Homo-oligomer: A and B are copies of this chain.
């Protein structure tokens, strides 16, 4: 077992991603990553959104036992609307049935905030509340700076189909405020998670992705979980959910939050269930409420609450092929059945909302009745719950509490759009947060791909955040490699959605990489890709020689022929001749032009450079 007090033993990965450097922009020193290109190309560095926190900053000192700096604390105090108080005492049951299991190597976190903050009595410190009062917070300014990434390079005309979203050419703090006020975006920001770098989840911002971590009764431990947190944000996770169950839940979560620069989400019912020995029917509102307070004080930024699983909807799942597949949903279904009562989450919803308002915790209204198979997609149970989530959204908004809505699941492509349309209509444009969806059930072992296909599409249609799926989905617990593959797959799906929506900054990186490909700048290609290590490894498997990285050829055509080079020739002629470019020319006209061009060609000597690059076969 690793010595938890040693970051090295925990194996957290630090240091910059290859070819990149950390920069800080604007008055709030917003962290971004800059990919530096070969001087030969004369192109500026490419700025990319950076979720990795101080772990990729060579200047930062990382000490897992101390935690990250409290970035937001000054902003919070300056608002003068919070009070510190004595934290609820940690109970043995907070760490699972038999209490903390030290043998599993989870000591209490050495640097816990003993005096958490909350809104002064009767107050509301949610970002939505400030926004509705016309206040632009530093969090909103930070988000505006962060989202504008690379827009300065961008040509003005928008290209894309955003399906009715209202993506601005440039994000101003006022735009962020307005989106928050309207409930179209959220900034998850529990007052007790001051380490968090503000980020926005909303249809008119860049599409975000979430990575799930968490131990389970069967495997894993806290060292591995902290490592997975740092590893997943290194590759691009915008938020992380701690889905731990079993023992040491409280302590594990503390280690994670204190070291997380991204919002942390949880499903509080998981921990509540542990407190009652795993017997769903023994759950009570009091135990659940106590768990919310416990997690609120630790700094959880958003809660998945399955308040839409109402008693009358449960029979609608009876004829399904896979019934209820959401763990939270099935816990509540079991409780409702055994007590033949309406869900206590639904009945106490407004009280939960009060807690959220006091700490600025965002709702992630859970889709406990989402389909777990193609056969069950878009059925009555699913949409009955969705419309209830819409009703609850309005109730949360009445208290100025931030809300996003969780979505499926397993959905064939032709039924994906309906999910987005109904969600926008039922939930007043509150951000949609979906798991996939998987577009077929027949590929276990490849469900990061079956779900990446659905995720890219629903992201294009307007989903604000995509919950990743790893290759181990349905089969086992993801290891470090699975987490990376899941994150990179979702990052590319989210980016594909940004491109299709016509996000002004999105294409900058594609164009830079494609120019590097055309110009044989291999290292730039690797560094501009989502996973530089893998790109270089694959290249080297065929052409290991260091020289091959600068050579003007690749293994696809070999050192004999180059399609890219021919384009360069076409380009040269066109330039010399001022031949008509990008405008359709009649055959005769062009042939005339080409005759002259060909003369020049022969004069110039028509030797080909060696090799080819970026060609696709055929």
Contact = CB atoms under 8 A, between A and B. Distances in A.
Given A315-B570, A612-B327, A322 B564 contact: yes
A566 B323 contact: yes
A372 B616 contact: yes
B499 A559 contact: no
Nearest to A583: B380
Contacts of A475: 535, 538-539, 542, 554
Contacts of A112: none
Contact of A453 (B218, B496, B528): B496
Interface stretch (A127-135, A304-312, A423-431): A304-312
A505 interface: no
A571 interface: yes
A342 interface: yes
Given A373-B518, A374-B511, A446-B492, 20 more contacts: A217-B558, A219-B555, A245-B558, A312-B590, A318-B571, A322-B514, A322-B614, A325-B616, A338-B601, A340-B595, A440-B496, A441-B513, A442-B513, A444-B535, A446-B488, A474-B525, A474-B616, A475-B542, A476-B543, A476-B556
A286 B304 CA distance: 70
A591 B311 contact: yes
A443 B314 contact: no
A121 interface: no
A321 B581 contact: no
A273 B561 contact: yes
A564 B323 contact: yes
Interface stretch (A62-70, A140-148, A572-580): A572-580
Interface in A430-458: 435, 439-446, 448-450, 452-453, 456-457
Given A339-B598, A496-B450, A529-B444, A518 B566 contact: no
B555 A278 contact: no
A375 B155 CA distance: 12
A528 B440 CA distance: 12
Contacts of A514: 321-322, 372-375, 441
A614 B337 contact: no
Given A453-B452, A558-B245, A439 B496 contact: yes
Copies per complex of this chain:
2
Given A456-B413, A541-B479, A542-B476, A321 B586 contact: no
Nearest to A469: B616
A43 interface: no
Given A322-B614, A366-B618, A555-B477, A529 B584 contact: no
Contacts of A374: 499, 507, 510-511, 514
A384 interface: yes
A441 B530 CA distance: 10
Most chain B CB atoms below 10 A, which of A241, A243, A517: A517
A227 B495 CA distance: 36
A615 B469 CA distance: 12
Contacts of A217: 557-560
A259 interface: no
